[in-house]
A and B are shown apart, each in its own frame.
Chain A
Amino acid sequence: MGGLDDLYQQLILDHYRSRRGRGRIEGASASVHENNPVCGDECFLDILVEDGRIADIRADGDGCSISQAAASMLTEVARGKDLDEALDLVEHFRLMMHGDAEPDEDLLGDAVALEGVARYPVRVKCALLSWLALRDCIAEYRETTAMGGR
């Protein structure tokens, strides 16, 4: 049973049962919709950018405990970051999920609890869904603002 405890740490189950940052943002600066082709889970991610920082971030959609907890943790840790910091954060998380980086708790906050997911290759996609959605969301924001400037 050790394996299961390792995967489903208490913190993950907590975030799953009480999601933070859930919902949509009206008048979002950028939005993306991603889905996990393995299971059909969906993630809607909205960000509100003010002065180059993520003033608000919300994730919506249904999914497994891992994907929902990961989204919940993401919204907590990404809120208030500037866009480059947020991208670094996503990249660090991605590396951790692929077993290529030691988790940095200061950077990741509660999301370090997802470290054990790296040992379950099919579940890595679940954890990454919302985080990669943020990367795409920032790219979309930059693309649309590049034309008109900020």
Chain B
Amino acid sequence: MGTSAHTALDARALRAEFPILAAPRPGGGQLHYLDSAATSQKPQRVLDAMDAYYREANANVHRGVYELAAEATERFEAGRDAVARLVNHPREATVLTKNATEAINLVAWAWGARELSDGDEVLVTMMEHHSNTVPWQLVAQMTGAVVRFCPVTPEGEIDMDAMRAMIGPRTRMVAVVHVSNTLGTINPVREIVAMAHEAGALTLVDATQSVPHMPVDAAAIGSDFLAFTGHKMCGPTGIGVLAATPERLRAMEPFLGGGEMISDVTTEGSTWNDIPWKFEAGTPPIAESVGLGEAVRFLEELGPDRIRAHERHLAQQMLDALDEVPGVTVFGPRQVERRGAAVSFSLDGVHPHDIGQFLDSKGVCVRAGHHCTKPLMRHLGVQSTARASAYLYTTEDDILALQSALAECRQWFGVA
């Protein structure tokens, strides 16, 4: 980190480092990729690091005595070091998973399934991604625990009064999203974690949409668990992270069983490896850890604070641009201090699917649907929205392209 926010990111220049963004479109013009909340594009250096790993250092990790295996292990573990450093968390309590979803499931099953009982409460919010809802529902079914949903205000923020009222003696876990992938809302997770801890509950923060976009300090947030995913932060698919407190991880039983996670196995039973490997059964995502480590160095060189400043600026441009298109309704906070650069909207008379399809013909990629937040969609009273989301390589051109394509879209569907 440490890079100052004084000099703004040069997003236009950064595009050259991303093969998909640098390539000309078949029909001419450039690609306006506004779906980074779903997954980010990958810079060449991440691809190179993974390629080099396979070419120079491929071997299975941890178990080999030969030099090549030691090299593979070193590169794999260096990925963990990088990601732990990025979020200011001890490396031994930084578990590498398949994705954020698996990280949350790990907590739900290894902790929840053992510790929850009839009538215990897991408190989530109405704006959670399904990956922070469904695992708790599954475990609740099995244990008799209850999953409760804290409401969201009309402005698209967590209703903190309701949250305060809902945290009670039966609350065992409070699991909240840091930045909403649908509304863009930045939630006051430090305050929520403090409230939950005061009531004796554990906390999980889904940092999937915050870690790629802004400085995130796991120690400062103070949650028991923090989950995020590699592919939304310039890294590859197939790797996610669970940063947990070391004590909690040591106290928990394993999630998945198999190779790597054991200390000893006998016909009578087994004992467990040290953390974090106790939670990493089987051959881990080795090349993916190498790629994620490189992605982290890339983000660190740019500076998470500068990425955030760039996106705050883009969020303002996006809100202003959308306001100028008649018939557009934007969901989520209006003040850019309280939101990231994922902006959901609807357009009167045109279904989000049709918006997405039409924009695609103009080289503008947006997502249309429920964004894996169906309870939130019901809460907002819509079936789906269109969502444009920006990242470090997004430029004002992309936003202008979105705006003019939306205006044309209205004409095409005869609502202009």
Contacts and interface: CB of A to CB of B under 8 A. Distances in A.
Given A42-B383, A64-B351, A65-B351, A3 B413 contact: no
A114 B357 CA distance: 15
Contacts of B357: 4, 7, 120, 123
A82 interface: no
Contact of B377 (A40, A63, A126): A40
Contact of A62 (B354, B368, B383, B412): B383
A98 interface: no
Interface string B346-357: 000001111001
A66 interface: yes
Interface string A62-73: 111111100000
Contacts of A66: 353-354
A101 to B, nearest CB: 24
B414 to A, nearest CB: 6
Given A8-B412, A39-B370, A42-B383, A64 B361 contact: no
B358 interface: yes
A40 B384 contact: yes
A40 B374 contact: yes
A64 B357 CA distance: 10
B384 A41 contact: yes
Given A1-B361, A4-B361, A39 B354 contact: no
Interface string A31-58: 0000000111110000000000000000
Contacts of A64: 351-354
A4 B361 CA distance: 7
Interface residues of B, number: 17
Given A8-B412, A42-B383, A65 B354 contact: yes
Given A39-B383, A40-B384, A13 B414 contact: yes
A17 B415 CA distance: 10
A3 B384 contact: no
B215 interface: no
Interface in A1-42: 1, 3-4, 7-8, 13, 16-17, 38-42
Interface string B404-416: 0000000011100
B369 interface: yes
A123 B353 contact: yes
Contacts of A3: 361
Given A64-B351, A126-B353, A40 B369 contact: yes
A3 B353 CA distance: 16
A7 B351 CA distance: 15
Nearest to A4: B361
A66 B377 CA distance: 21
A125 B4 CA distance: 49
Contacts of B352: 39, 64
B358 A39 contact: no
A126 B384 CA distance: 14
Contact of B383 (A7, A17, A40, A126): A40
B134 to A, nearest CB: 13
Q: Which 3 A-B pairs have the closest CB atoms?
A: A64-B353, A64-B351, A40-B383
29 contacts: A3-B361, A4-B358, A4-B361, A4-B412, A7-B357, A8-B412, A13-B413, A39-B352, A39-B353, A39-B384, A40-B369, A40-B374, A40-B384, A41-B353, A42-B383, A62-B351, A63-B351, A63-B353, A63-B383, A64-B351, A64-B352, A64-B354, A65-B354, A66-B354, A67-B353, A68-B351, A120-B357, A123-B357, A126-B353
Given A13-B413, A66-B353, 20 more contacts: A4-B358, A4-B412, A7-B357, A13-B414, A17-B414, A39-B353, A39-B370, A40-B377, A40-B384, A41-B353, A42-B383, A62-B383, A63-B353, A64-B352, A64-B353, A65-B351, A65-B354, A67-B353, A123-B357, A126-B353
